[in-house]
Amino acid sequence: MRPVKVPIEDTIDLHTFHPKDIPDLLCEYFSACIDSGIYSVRVIHGKGTGALKMNVIKQLKKNSLVACFREASSDSGGWGATQVELVSGK
């Protein structure tokens, strides 16, 4: 399987990724964001059953690159997205 190149922007949509890939994906994405000078990102996980959101939150809690996170504002996805603030350096 060939790696998927994810554009480094301030938003990532997880709908196209397999749940088992999310932990490594988020870690690599956050690291690339910091390298690009992006410290505030929106992770779109959707509303659905909430399983993907819970997986994302679990990963955010243990990721040392994450300074803090919160549910996105209603105009940015509400409970279908999470706003993540990254540490200002590695």
The total of structural domains in the chain comes to 1
The arithmetic mean of pLDDT across residues 56-78, rounded, is 95
Is the per-residue pLDDT at 5 higher than 90? Answer: no
pLDDT, the chain, mean: 91
CATH of the domain at 52: 3.30.1370.110
Is the per-residue pLDDT at 88 higher than 90? Answer: no
Answer with the residue of higher pLDDT: 43 or 15.
43
Residue 29 placed within a domain: yes
Instruction: Report, in this order, helix, strand and coil percent for the chain, each rounded to 5.
Output: 40, 20, 35
Is the per-residue pLDDT at 41 higher than 90? Answer: yes
Residue 56 placed within a domain: yes
Secondary structure class of 48 (helix, strand, coil): coil
Full-model pTM:
0.88
Residue 5 placed within a domain: no
* Span 14-38, pLDDT tens digits: 988 988 999 999 999 999 999 999 9
Domain that holds residue 51: 11-86
Look at residue 49 in the predicted model and tell me its pLDDT: 86
